[in-house]
């Protein structure tokens, strides 16, 4: 199954920042698709809720050094 969530990410200032976050999300078991947009400071993540929860997505972003807030 697939769940889509949008996450606000604070603190990204360059494309290297957004790439770091995007790659961290894409490396997670259960993430099917992850896009991080620097301009809007948002991530859109397609994931399997049987494998992980959105809290784990937020935690993975925080682990890269940025603040993550669930939008939807
Ligand atoms: Mo470059 Mo983005 O050091 O923090 S990766 S500004």
For the CA of 11, the closest atom of ligand 1 is 4
CA 19 to ligand 1 center in whole angstroms: 10
Mutate to test the pocket of ligand 1, among 9, 13, 61 (most ligand atoms within 8 A of CB): 13
- pLDDT tens by residue, the chain, 72 residues: 999 999 999 999 999 999 999 999 999 999 999 999 999 999 999 999 999 999 999 999 999 999 999 999
In short, whether 17's Cβ falls inside 6 Å of ligand 1 is yes
User: What is the reported pTM?
Assistant: 0.95
ipTM of the complex: 0.83
The two tokens of residue 5 are: 């969530």
């Amino acid at each position: 199954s697939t769940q889509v969530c949008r996450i606000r990410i604070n603190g990204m200032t360059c494309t290297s920042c957004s790439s770091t976050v995007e790659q961290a999300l894409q490396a997670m078991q259960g993430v099917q698709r992850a896009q991080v947009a620097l301009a809007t400071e948002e991530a859109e993540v397609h994931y399997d809720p049987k494998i992980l929860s959105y809290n784990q997505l937020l935690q993975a972003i925080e682990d890269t050094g940025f603040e993550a807030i669930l939008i939807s």
